[in-house]
Each structure stands twice: as structure tokens, then as C-alpha cells.
Chain A
Amino acid sequence: MPPNNSTHMSRRGLARLAASTLAAAMVATELEASAQSQVDPAESIIAEVEKTRGKPLPSDVRKRMGQAVKDNASNSAALRKFKVPDGAEPEMIFVPARKGGAK
């Protein structure tokens, strides 16, 4: 189909334009929401803790949060790299595994 150079728009064309504008707006809203949900985890927990304590955290503590979050993420990555079979249960009451296999 050749490009439509007409300055007049048919009813069908108008409907198409409205639909695509609405879709674009929805995508933009979703992207914005997604960006908001990817807030720095340090900032998110800082905000939560500051709300409950009723005052801001000292600036040096805020600064160190970044490293602490990074350390936790590094632990998380190491744990996720290790394949745990689906359904493998955690031990909710820890008893050291004995030599010979008995508990």
C-alpha cells in the first residue's frame, strides 16, 4: 500500500490513530511504572526505615548502604549460580549433618 498523503482522514483512519495513541500512552505508563519499580534497593529500604524511625539516617550510614547492598547482591548471585533442585526443602530447624548420614 502506498503512503497516504491525504490531509483528510477517514473515520477508519481516525479510529486507528486514536487506538495507536492510546496504546502508546499505555506503553509509556507501563514503562514509567517499571522504571519506578526499579528504584535503587538501598534507597527503597532507606525510605522505609526513615519513615519508621521518624528522622533521616546519618549521611555516612546512607553512603555505606550502597556497599552493603552490593555485598548482599554478590551473595545472592553466588547462591543463584548454584543449582538447587526444585522442591528441595530447607531445614527449618537446623541440626548438623552427622558423619555416617544419621541425624
Chain B
Amino acid sequence: MSDRALLWLSALELGKLIAKRSVSSVEITRLYLRELDTRGRALNALAELTPEIALKQAAQADREVKAGKIRSPLHGVPYGAKDLLATRGIPTRWGSPAHANQVFNYDATVVTRLREAGAVLVAKLAMVELAGGVGYEFAAASITGPCKNPYDDTRWAGGSSSGSGAAVGGGMVGFAIGTETWGSITVPAAFCNVSGLRPTYGRVPRTGAMALCWTMDKIGPMARTAEDCLAILRVIAGHDPRDPSSSTEKFGPSLPDRTPLRARLGLLPTEYAKNKAPEAQKHFKSAISVLQGLGCTSDKVILPNFPYDAAAGTIVNVEGAASFEGLVRSAKLDLLADNSQKAGLIAALAIPGSDYLRALRIRKLAGPAAVKVFDKFDALVAPTLLKGAPPWKMSLNEGFANMGGNGGPGNLLGWPSISVPMGMDADGLPLGLEIIGAPYQEAAILKIAMAFQKATPHHRIAPKA
């Protein structure tokens, strides 16, 4: 198998080859390290390469394979972690020039769990500074500069899990870990032709992860297939007593057994004409036809009327500003790369407590009311965004003016979601299909995504060499 073919295998395919000793973990680790060091740096996808730890972990994985010990399907598979996850002795800069020298002496729980599953940490991956939740205007809002898209390096990779999207989409890691408060997994997944799973809030413990918004931050897998996402979620999900918000509910090993796939899909309202998005409309229509061919039914759905976006925006702004209050009130704030981010952080300090509490009260009312849509539907679907990635030089206010998106309700209410590739636009830029599920029903949306990927080639389309 050629090097290029190896780089583009899914994590599970790589794991199988490693387990059969058809390829060693050290070999594939060296390949990915080389790609990250060259293409990864050129795209600004890299926060920190970790060759020493990677080669040590890979050698250990190979020794264990030889001894017949396979820790998990990810055994020996190289991965990258978004740079907001603490890694012992390796810089964790949170994408922020104000945290350029930050090094923790412990690992985030997800990093520990992946190590125990035999996965190999090859890199910390670039991100928007402080996960960008309080508003940034330019893709350059990062200590590593604008993260460029592997499908077109004049375009942005998305954010805030920019490097995770670019590295998976560019064939530079077997898989990656991203995080989402509002769109930070699904957006780069859509822009970089990646399968990105945002789990239910609390499903994956946040211990050792930078806090942007305590009540909305989620950690999830970004990979080349939905099936990979499932395998990774099985490793990283589960309660951690050090994160009281992490769920005690076990993630079941099996998916709902319904063949053919008889999922009931709710079609979220999407303004194609207003946003001049005929290509997203065409690809989405085609995706729904594929799913209907697999046995799914579909009908229009409208969520009950709540100010989801305003509540989510208020919660993110207040918690974000509070989380970084020490920085915001100091002269170190000047070190951040994006002036809108700085202004947003300061302004958010002045949001009245009554507004924040009103947002929390609305969330409490909205949760039980909105979740009732899942009595009628197994999943809600829509294009992740209505356009391909904007140029990284463009103001994101302009670039996202007609993007659409359904991030507000799902992120406010802690619902899981997956974005999977659904085709390319006329410029050769990837478009994503978003499948949103009820809380703790990741298995249902993964099953739909996996069936879709068995029937379509979109996720296998690599960027031109």
C-alpha cells in the first residue's frame, strides 16, 4: 500500500492493519509526523508536534501487538488533540498568544483514556484563541495564524477546532479530538470534509480541558468516518469524578438494531433562496434521497419558539468572560490576536446577572419543550452550513453572512450532533450534512451517519495532492 493510501485510511482500518502487523504503529506514526511537519505547518494546523512521545507510544503499541495485547480498535493509531486539552509536559497554549508559555503537569482525562486505549499522540492541533466563543472577526485569531483548508489553502479550515479539522481532512492524523461550545466541531468538520461528532453535554468529561463555557463545552471526535467517531466515543465517554458535570450514563456498546434503517428524519427549516445557496439545497436533497432509499422517512419539523440563539449567546459570553476575567482585566489581554475577541470579552463583563439568569431560566423551560420533537423523529437534519469555507483573509462577519446553520438550539440544550460530508460545491469545497439527536442518543445519529457513508463516497474524497 502506498504512503498516500495509508494516510487516508480510517482510524479503524489503520487499527486493523496494525493489529494484523501489516503495518507497524511506528511506521504510520513516522508518516503522519512527516506530513504534520510539512503540510501541517504550511496550513497552520499544528500547535505542537510531539515526536518523542509519539514514537515512544508507537513502539510500545508495536511491542504489545507482538505480545498479543490489543488494547482497543484504536491501538497504535496516531491522533492529534486540540490544543485546549492539557498534556503533561507539552505546551498547551489554548491557541492564545497570552498563554504562549503554558505547560501543565497533568493530562486531560480524554488524553489519558486514549493513551490507555493504545492511541498515539502525534500532535497538539491549532485552534482559535480561547476557542473564540466571545466573538472574533478574523481566521487569524490564533497564536498559529489562520488555519488553512486542506481542500483550498486560500480558504479557512473553520473554527475553533481548526487544526483538528485540517489535520483529519488533510490526511495528517488518523483522527483528532475537537471541542464544541457552539459550532467548533461541526463547522470545521463541514469545511474540511470530516466526520465530526459533538456528543451530548456531559457525555465526555472535560477534566483538563480549557473552560470557555462550563455549561456548554463538549469534547468530541473528528475522524474520516462516522464509524471511527463511534469507536473513539466509546473510549473517551464516561463519568469522571473530577468533572461533576460528566454523565454517569454508560455509552452502550451497541447501536439500535433496525435493518433496514427506518429512521424518522425531521427536516429543519432552511432558507436556501434568501441565502443564495442552491448548491447546499441540491446536495441536501440528494442526501435525503439516499437516506430515504435506505428506509428513512422524512417530514418538516419546527422547534417550539424560544430565543435559543440569544440565550446561548448570553450564556457563552458571560461564562467566557468570567472564565478569563483575570486576563480580561489585565494588560495581557493586548496579547490576544483578534481585537473583536478582546472587545467581546470586555463587553461581556458588563452583561447584567439578571440577563444570564434569564438565559438559564429560558434554557430550563426550553429543554423539556423542545426535546418533544424526538417523540416524532429519531433525528433532525439540515445542511451543517449553506456554503463552503470562506477565504481566510475575509472578515468572518462577511464570510458567515449567508451561512445559515442550526447550532443555537442544539448547543444550548446539550443535544448531540454529527456533521458528515455530503458533497462538494462548484469550487470543490466540502459541504456537510448535520444530523442532530436527542440527548444521550448518539447511537441513533451515528447509525444514520454510518448508513449514509456506506451508501455515498463523499467522505472518501481526499484533497488533490
Interface residue B367 (Cβ < 8 Å from any Cβ of A): yes
A79 to chain B minimum Cβ distance, whole angstroms, is: 5
Chain B residues whose C-beta falls within 8 Å of the C-beta of A4 in the assembled complex: none
A66 to chain B minimum Cβ distance, whole angstroms, is: 8
Contact with A along B324-343 (1 / 0, CB 8 A): 00001111011000011011
Q: Which residue of A lies closest to B356 (CB)?
A: A90
Chain B residues whose C-beta falls within 8 Å of the C-beta of A81 in the assembled complex: 307
Interface residue B405 (Cβ < 8 Å from any Cβ of A): no
Chain B residues whose C-beta falls within 8 Å of the C-beta of A92 in the assembled complex: 360
Binds A, one of B30-38, B160-168, B293-301, B368-376: B368-376
Number of A residues near B (Cβ < 8 Å) is 46
B105 to chain A minimum Cβ distance, whole angstroms, is: 29
Q: Which residue of A lies closest to B312 (CB)?
A: A75
Contact with A along B301-314 (1 / 0, CB 8 A): 00000110111011
Q: Which residue of A lies closest to B360 (CB)?
A: A90
Chain A residues whose C-beta falls within 8 Å of the C-beta of B349 in the assembled complex: 45, 48-49
Q: Which of A71, A79, A80 has the most CB of B within 10 A?
A: A79
Chain A residues whose C-beta falls within 8 Å of the C-beta of B47 in the assembled complex: none
Q: A67-B343, A84-B361 are in contact. Are A78 and B307 (CB under 8 A)?
A: yes
Cβ contact within 8 Å between B329 and A84: no
How distant is the Cα of A78 from the Cα of B331 in the complex, in angstroms?
A: 33
Q: Which residue of B lies closest to A64 (CB)?
A: B343
Interface residue A68 (Cβ < 8 Å from any Cβ of B): yes
How distant is the Cα of A55 from the Cα of B368 in the complex, in angstroms?
A: 47
Cβ contact within 8 Å between B245 and A72: no
How distant is the Cα of A69 from the Cα of B343 in the complex, in angstroms?
A: 9
Cβ contact within 8 Å between B371 and A98: yes
Chain B residues whose C-beta falls within 8 Å of the C-beta of A44 in the assembled complex: 350
Cβ contact within 8 Å between B331 and A53: yes
A2 to chain B minimum Cβ distance, whole angstroms, is: 54
Q: Which of B347, B351, B439 has the most CB of A within 10 A?
A: B347
Cβ contact within 8 Å between B245 and A94: yes
Q: Which of A41, A68, A76, A94 makes the CB contact (< 8 A) with B363?
A: A94
Q: A91-B363, A92-B360, A94-B201 are in contact. Are A79 and B438 (CB under 8 A)?
A: no
Interface residue B346 (Cβ < 8 Å from any Cβ of A): yes
Cβ contact within 8 Å between A49 and B367: no
Cβ contact within 8 Å between A76 and B329: no
Chain B residues whose C-beta falls within 8 Å of the C-beta of A68 in the assembled complex: 135, 340, 343-344, 346-348
Cβ contact within 8 Å between A89 and B364: yes
Q: Which of A69, A74, A93, A96 makes the CB contact (< 8 A) with B439?
A: A96
How distant is the Cα of A24 from the Cα of B340 in the complex, in angstroms?
A: 45
Interface residue A58 (Cβ < 8 Å from any Cβ of B): yes
* A-binding residues in B (CB < 8 A): 135, 200-202, 215, 244-245, 306-307, 309-311, 313-314, 317, 328-331, 333-334, 339-340, 342-344, 346-352, 355, 357-365, 367-368, 370-371, 374-375, 413-415, 438-441
Cβ contact within 8 Å between A82 and B306: yes
Q: Which residue of B lies closest to A82 (CB)?
A: B307
B325 to chain A minimum Cβ distance, whole angstroms, is: 10
Cβ contact within 8 Å between A72 and B347: yes
Q: Which of A60, A67, A74, A81 has the most CB of B within 10 A?
A: A67
Chain A residues whose C-beta falls within 8 Å of the C-beta of B441 in the assembled complex: 99
Cβ contact within 8 Å between B367 and A97: yes
How distant is the Cα of A28 from the Cα of B89 in the complex, in angstroms?
A: 64
Chain B residues whose C-beta falls within 8 Å of the C-beta of A63 in the assembled complex: 343
How distant is the Cα of A91 from the Cα of B357 in the complex, in angstroms?
A: 9
Cβ contact within 8 Å between B358 and A80: yes
Chain A residues whose C-beta falls within 8 Å of the C-beta of B330 in the assembled complex: 52-53
How distant is the Cα of A55 from the Cα of B370 in the complex, in angstroms?
A: 47
Q: Which residue of B lies closest to A80 (CB)?
A: B358
Instruction: Beyond the given A57-B346, A79-B362, A98-B371, please list 11 additional residue pairs across the A-B interface where CB-CB is below 8 A.
Output: A45-B346, A63-B343, A64-B344, A68-B340, A68-B344, A71-B135, A72-B347, A75-B317, A82-B306, A84-B362, A97-B367
Q: Which residue of A lies closest to B318 (CB)?
A: A72
Please name 14 pairs of A and B residues whose Cβ atoms are closer than 8 Å in the assembled complex, sorted by A: A41-B350, A48-B349, A58-B342, A64-B342, A68-B344, A72-B317, A76-B351, A78-B307, A79-B358, A84-B358, A88-B365, A96-B200, A96-B440, A101-B368
Q: A79-B311, A88-B365, A96-B414 are in contact. Are A49 and B375 (CB under 8 A)?
A: no
How distant is the Cα of A90 from the Cα of B244 in the complex, in angstroms?
A: 18
How distant is the Cα of A95 from the Cα of B415 in the complex, in angstroms?
A: 11
B285 to chain A minimum Cβ distance, whole angstroms, is: 28
Chain B residues whose C-beta falls within 8 Å of the C-beta of A101 in the assembled complex: 368
Q: Which of A58, A76, A88 makes the CB contact (< 8 A) with B352?
A: A76
How distant is the Cα of A94 from the Cα of B360 in the complex, in angstroms?
A: 9
